[in-house]
Amino acid sequence: MSGAGLPEIGVPDGTGLTVAIVTSRWNEDITGKLQEEALAAAAETGATARAYVVVGALEIPVVAQSLATKVDAVVALGCVIRGGTPHFDYVCDAVTAGLTRITLDTGTPIGNGVLTCDTHAQAIARSGVEGATENKGRDAMIAAIHTADLLRKI
């Protein structure tokens, strides 16, 4: 599982930071939990978060790009599950490349919580539900706030 070796950074200080969460509705049973966990993590850090919902993962980057100029950090949440065609690879590559370009072009950190899984069971295990091995919604928010806090100190 990809969470192996995850560093323990603690809870960063998000006081005064604003974070936009962009969540895909595709696989909503997973993405809804990711969003719930991200919102809880933002509150825990003292950051203010606002959620925006898009249809699918491919719509995340354009909304994240618009928001990146208005907030201190963005968290991207989605769930792409491999099917029987190459579509999975194209979607995952496009979303990752888009989010990377946005964060580098704007200087606004983006916590990437877009799950790319082979199966629905893998997505559940990473979603933060009770008994899950990982909590990628929380992890993405903590990473985004940690980076935004570091950037404001530089």
- Of the residues 2, 6, 28, 87, which is catalytic? 87
Q: Does the annotation list 101 as a binding residue? A: no
Q: Is 92 annotated as a binding residue?
A: no
Is 6 annotated as a binding-site member? no
The verdict on whether residue 63 carries a ligand-binding annotation is no
Would you say 79 is a known binding-site residue?
yes
Query: Is 87 annotated as catalytic?
Result: yes
How far, in Å, CA of 82 to CA of 130, rounded?
Answer: 24
The verdict on whether residue 39 carries a ligand-binding annotation is no
Q: Is 84 assigned a ligand-binding role in the annotation?
A: yes
Indicate the annotated binding residues. Answer: 26, 57-59, 79-81, 84-85, 112, 126
Indicate the annotated binding residues for 5-amino-6-(D-ribitylamino)uracil. Answer: 26, 57-59, 79-81, 112
Active site members: 87
Indicate the annotated binding residues for (2S)-2-hydroxy-3-oxobutyl phosphate. Answer: 84-85, 126
